[in-house]
Structure 1
Amino acid sequence: MSFESKVVWITGASSGIGAALAREFAGRGAKVVLSGRDEARLAAVAGELGTETLTLPFDIRDDAALAEATQQAIAWRGGVDVAVANAGVSQRSTALKTDMQVYHDIIEIDLTQQIAFAQGLIGHMADRGSGRLVFISSIAGKVGVPMRTAYCAAKFGLIGYADSLRGELSRDGVEVHVVCPGSVATDVSRNALTADGSKRGKSDKAIDEGIPADEAAKTMVDAIALNQREIIVARGMEEAMGKARQTPDQLFDQVAAMVAAGYIEKMEAEG
């Protein structure tokens, strides 16, 4: 598909994968809505894009602010065509040492509020009969990785929500994409939470030597344009791990066929 003149809303757009996706979509002619907590950094990204932009800064954990931003994004240019749930935070601590509050925080940011972001848009997209929801999960959403138990729990959960949602919306013209990046050269490791909830403040060698963010973004958008439903963006061992756990397209098709055959209506009729 072409993204020319489409409205693309990206959360976590002030840096890293989110900013790179903004550049990639803008380069393909999209109008871009940028969200994140840091208004100044969002404005800096917007200034790079050379396209129509709308900056909607808010904390993804603030439900009222999210609802207001959703109304603004929909009203801006007549609707949201592509929504990218990218906001998130990683982890670097073992389960034995990690405060329970860290689990609450990471699961809220990486799972619950990504669901809230999508829930605010699915009615709008279904009513229009078109739209794309893109969920940035992780290879750690396919394979349990040490020192990331909270992060893995959230990213596995995000894929489960997205896969179920894809089936439900399969008759409504709404496409759902799951992106599973491996190591991408961003500040994800530097911003990761440690056992007590503080920021780690330093990066990993694997991240520093990872896929450049702009290269990763191009791969992601190419795959979305080709309507790939589960997208692995990784190299080496990480790519092999992701591919080993990649969901076959036939299974997605089977779920869609269940919905087409009236599965939802039968379940609702049974109460």
Structure 2
Amino acid sequence: MLYANIEQIQKEREDYSVIKTIACKSKEVSLLLRTYGFWNLTGESRIRSNKIYPDSLDICTMTYASHLSSDKSALRKILKYAQASVIKTGMQEGRVLAYNAITESISNVWQHAYDDVFFTQPVPEELRNWWFIVQCIHDQFYIAMYDMGAGIPTTISKKPWAAALIETISSLIELRGYKVVVSPDAKSIKAAVDYGRSRFKQDNRGKGLTEAKDFVQQNPQGSMLIFSGLGHYEYKTEGDDELLETLSSPFRGTLIQWNLRLETKNEC
């Protein structure tokens, strides 16, 4: 989110030097920021030593313009990193899992986030961006994506099936005796996750979050986190647990993070 906000401000001001840092007192933090491309983004170079995670990939920005022109260079960069990480595990089927997980996720993010119908003023094309970060840590392959679009609660509200599905979710929450008030936004996120397998499903679209959860369920240590609007949704494979919470302040856009387990022969 920090990276995304810096980049958006640079584009809004048309000035890539508009944000500069004064100092970073922690060498570890500075190395971490360098690993993910912050110093390249701001045009600064605090430390010249190797990355703290030498096999990590910097944050990738996918633009609306690249989507329109079918420029897949960022996608290829992500897939190349994923393939190299999986190869180290010696797990051949892991290549397919990682490839499908990434391509399915990315293909779904283009659809609704910046749709003009959700904004009083259309978002300029240069500000219609998506950010991705992928990393392999031991036997876990993490994927996170973020956009500054309308958010899941807003986009799902336009779906004809949404109200009935959210009402069903509300009834289930009451039966489970939640001790905290669950915001409508959190229920909307759960509805988006459940839609792919629900009886309300009317077509073959909108499967992205459902399929992400399916991937997570193949991982005994898996988890999926989603933040959007005033809603926080978390799913953990262990115990097949779901957590719905209300955020203290609105979350701009949508952040989704989840992980796949790679059965390793060697650490990656």
Same fold (TM over 0.5): no
State the TM-score, normalizing by the size of structure 2: 0.32
Q: Greater strand percent: which structure?
A: 2
The two structures have a TM-score, normalised by structure 1, of 0.32
